Structure 1
Amino acid sequence: MRATLVAATTLVSGVVAKKEYCTKTIKKDVAIIGGGASGSHAAVWLRDHGRTNVVIEKAEQLGGHTDFYKDPVSGLDINVGVQGWMEYGNGYNFPHRMGIPTTGSMSFTPNENYFVDFESGEPVEGYQAPAPDAMVAALQTYLEVLYKYEDYILPGFENFPDPDAIPEDLTMPFGDFVAKYSIEAGVPQIWDATAQGLGNTMDVATMFVMQASGVPMIEAFLGTAQSALPPSGRLYDLYDAVADFLDEDVLYNSTVVKATREKGKKISLQVQDHGDDSITCVEAKRLLIAIQPTMGAMKAFDLDQQETDVFNKFGYATVYAGVIRHPSLQPSNAYSHRLPGPASLNYTAWPVAAQVGRMDYLGGTEDLYQFTAVGTDQDTPESMKALIAESIDTMIAAGTIPASDGEVTFEAFADHGLMHPRVSAEELYDGFIQKQVALQGHRDTWYTGAAFSAGFSAVVWEYNEKVLPDLVKGSY
């Protein structure tokens, strides 16, 4: 059941209400901000451990980057955003706890790959995908290096070395790391899967590529670990189960508009329902932030200098995924963005944001294609939709795909917002990670999610198992 709060007084959107205008007051042990993978897991864990909680979720459903599109023609449920659960630690305990088996497996449409410069619309002359043996060897080398540093960055940064002991491998630009270990043949797989979301991948400090394309994903590529789905293939089965379990302990379509946090005192939140503008007051003893801690998202939480000194250092890219239709795109084809020139042919140069990464035909459908796209922090859903349309138009103009009278339609468009938080090597040597980790418990506030862990569901579920026991320590 998803409860809708009825406003006793009509309020103007964005106006912070005084307590006497609150239509309802909720008192819980823990208030959780965000009902994505990390927030949903935390809510179930806390209830299982005897703590009451409420989830404040800005969307109309749980799941965060896990969404789906049901094709009315084929009847297929198409995962949008998260494509599978990568095996990590005891992470699969969560879907099993919710009665969701992990016996399904990921399948991929055997499309014919076209490597295209989306800016010119022309195929990249001379580009060939790495030979399978070379790719596997490169990924194996990369994985061996990942194992050396895994405890530093997964499932969180609590074991990250002091600034004067950080290995150079973690701070060097990823392009230099690739050259050092001669893993060029593995980079297309790394970039296509997740690392393109870093914006300018080859210039980013390597530890953030390791966080985005780390042990769980590389093991899945190499077949040494599981990559699972529910038997239905629909990842959202999990969040349907969580929504039923939490019932009225979720405030949907809601955001915090004002927060009061004083150490040792109750957390006071004013939460606005964006459907009817009603205000709910939430009183809690602990606060768990399970959203991306951007300065904009954290504005209502009255940040102090210690918190600001961390959150305003993060750089982000905007990430989008979805399902499109266009009559010029050809079934059984996949279109991958590549750059022209020798460096691209050697897998050491890659498109930078804003860019469309891929458009892949979805097997079993009549004419649907899944896309990924990455923007800068200045891009919007509208600008990225325009870029996708432009990329298709340039392929038509170049004769790469046939002309048609139609235009692109977006059957599903997931705006994942600001993702893959990262800082410079200089910030790492200035103790950034230690400052970030020190925020856990500061002002009775804890953090989970990709900024404090990694962007894999099973990894953040495992990270919660480390963080939440500390959150519930003591009597409260």
Structure 2
Amino acid sequence: MGLTRKQLLSAMGAAAAAPLVAGAGEPRVIRRDVCVIGGGSAGTYAAVRLGDFGRSVVVVEAQDRLGGHTETYHDPATGGTIDIGVVVFEDEPFVRSYFDRLGVGLVRIADGGGGGGTTTYVDFRTGRRVDYTQPAPVALPAYLQDISRFGPIDTILDLPEAALPELAAPFRDYVAAHDFGSVVPFVFNYGQGIGNVLDLPALYAINTFGQGVAGNILRGSFLTTAARNNSLLYERATEHLAGNVLLGSRAVKVERTRSGVRVLVTGPGGARVIEAKKLLVTIPPLTRNLTAVDLDGTERSLFGRFTPGAYYTSVVRLSGLPAGVGLDNVAADTPYNLPPLPGLYMVGPTAVPGLYNVKYGSPAPLPDAVVRHEIRAGIERVAAAGTYPVKFEGFATYASHAPFELHVGPRDIAGGFYRRLNALQGRNRTYWSGAAWHSHNSARIWAGLETLLPKIAAD
């Protein structure tokens, strides 16, 4: 349960009127070593692991659940589950350890953890079939070897100075220079949500489709939960963290001093003041998301450079498609047959008959009503073109994952933006984590946090 607009405005007004102190009749005080704002992949993992360092934590999460981009649809008719956000995880020892400690079983996709079926390639602008066969990624081993010279920039965006011009140039230039064309469709399809991948600086394609992803593809080692319910990890984490999670809650005022951090929080339990030694912020670092935080000029300047992309997921009810057939969006008239965005990525069959997983991307956030309309219109064009007699029966669920893939322009990258961004770690008793600091990849976020956690836990 989230806050109503009236509740939020009331709390913000009260916060603006008085300093964060606790006294008679004032909000209950929660004292912890670390206050974590955001209970997605980064915030949840950090909270669990900080306990291993002997540090007390409290997590403030605006939604009524932990998990962020990890979402699972539960079909009321069959009891089946469909992961509509995070679908796979890299097979790494720390990933298996994390799932094991929370009692969540894993299976390899290659060993039966994924779905089967066949793919029909269509151009959703027209609804017509496209004579297309996705190329085998013959250049993938060479791609993996080449990107390794940049270091683990899919985990921590610590960019080699000598490589900045190459990483700032468009990904299409990098691909052409190294003859990596056969990898492009895999980068586009894996990197759903990052936008027009060929036009973006190469950094963002390599960050998303980095050493971890490329290695797991070559090894066939991606994981998913044995229960086909990735949200189970976060349900177990909520139990593990017990009363140290404030769901449906928002930080409405944050004061950071040399001696500690004070956070005024409003939520279902009423107003509370969190007094902590340090702050970890894991929500997307856009200035509009951080109005409650007393950002300094450097922080405000850097976060103001970010531009967000957008990603939308849904489960739709369809009839008229042959069993097991999915539709992938390709274009007949573009480089590498990549479909223009905004647009659908795919319509994929699920383990629940009649329900299909749908992904939609845009270079910039769009109103949900527009995305819903375009998803339906794209599917209906398939029927109108005579490709399949598919009928759109409605949305079973829909979720916006915007903002998604925060990025900056080539000049910022070449000018050392990420060096300055990383220098914020520890400044004002604050640490930062999440996709913008690591990658849109749970395993890479967790790996990045492993280098940061000792600093957060230090006295």
Fold agreement, TM-score > 0.5: yes
Query: Can you give the 5+ residue segments of structure 1 that lack an aligned partner in the other structure?
Result: none
Deviation digits for residues 365-421 of structure 1 (CA, Å, limit 9, x no counterpart): 2111111111243402222111101111222221222164xx442222222221111
Contact 1:87 1:216 (8 Å CA) reproduced:
no
Distance 1:365 1:249 in 2: 36
Instruction: Name the structure 1 match of 2:254.
Output: 259
Task: Encode CA deviations 1:58-115: one digit per residue, 9 max, x unaligned.
Answer: 1111111112112334432221211121134633322223233434546443322222
The answer as to whether partners of 2:27 and 2:271 remain within 8 angstroms in 1 is yes
Residue correspondences, number = 447
In the alignment, is residue 150 of structure 1 matched against residue 151 of structure 2? yes
From 386, 389, 392, the equivalent of 1:399 is 386
- For residues 58-457 of structure 1, the aligned pairs below 5 Å read 58-88=62-92, 90-105=94-109, 107-124=113-130, 126-130=131-135, 135-151=136-152, 153-158=153-158, 160-162=159-161, 165-166=162-163, 168-194=165-191, 196-223=192-219, 226-262=221-257, 264-273=258-267, 275=268, 278-341=270-333, 343-344=334-335, 347=336, 350-362=338-350, 364-402=351-389, 404=391, 407-457=392-442
Stretch moving more, 13-22 or 318-327? 13-22
- How far 1:36 sits from its partner (Å)? 1.1
Relative to the length of structure 2, the TM-score reads: 0.91
Distance 1:104 1:122, change over 3 A: closer
Distance 1:11 1:191 in 2: 41
In the alignment, residue 385 of structure 1 is paired with which amino acid?
Answer: R
Looking at structure 2, the residues matched to 383 and 421 of structure 1 have their Cα atoms a distance apart, in angstroms, of 21
Distance 1:322 1:11, change over 3 A: closer
Q: Which moved more, 1:226-235 or 1:429-438?
A: 226-235
Residues 462, 423 of structure 1: alpha-carbon distance in 2 compared, 3 angstrom cutoff = same
Q: Distance in 2 between matches of 1:222 and 1:402?
A: 37
Percent of matched pairs sharing the same residue = 27
The residue type equivalent to 1:128 in the other structure is: T
Q: What amino acid maps onto 1:202 in structure 2?
A: L
CA distance, structure 2, for counterparts of residue 54 and residue 40 of structure 1: 10
Displacement of 1:311 after TM fit? 0.8
Residues 331/234 of structure 1: CA separation in 2 closer, same or farther (3 Å cut): same
Question: Are the equivalent residues in 1 in contact too, given 2:124–2:381 (CA < 8 A)?
Answer: yes
Cα pair distance change 1:88/1:167, threshold 3 Å = farther
3-state DSSP class of the match of 2:428? helix
CA contact (8 A) 2:313 2:358 kept: yes
- In 2, Cα distance between equivalents of 1:101 and 1:282: 35
- Cα RMSD between the aligned structures? 2.3
Amino acid of the structure 2 residue aligned with 1:459: R
In 1, distance between residues paired with 2:340 and 2:43?
31
Cα separation, 2, equivalents of 1:299 and 1:167: 31
- Assess, with a 3 A threshold, how the Cα gap between structure 1 residues 178 and 44 changes in structure 2: closer, same or farther: same
Q: Does the 8 Å CA contact 2:2/2:249 hold for their aligned counterparts?
A: no
Structure 2 regions of 5+ residues with no counterpart? Answer: none
Q: Is the contact made by 1:38 and 1:449 (CA closer than 8 Å) also made in structure 2?
A: yes
Three-state SS of the structure 2 residue aligned to 1:202 is: coil
- Cα deviation, residue 117, structure 1: 1.5
Q: Contact 1:202/1:350 (CA < 8 Å) preserved in 2?
A: no
Equivalent pair of 2:317/2:394 in contact (CA under 8 Å): yes
1:122 Cα deviation from its structure 2 partner = 1.6
Deviations 1:183-213 (A, max 9, x none): 222221221122x422111011111111111
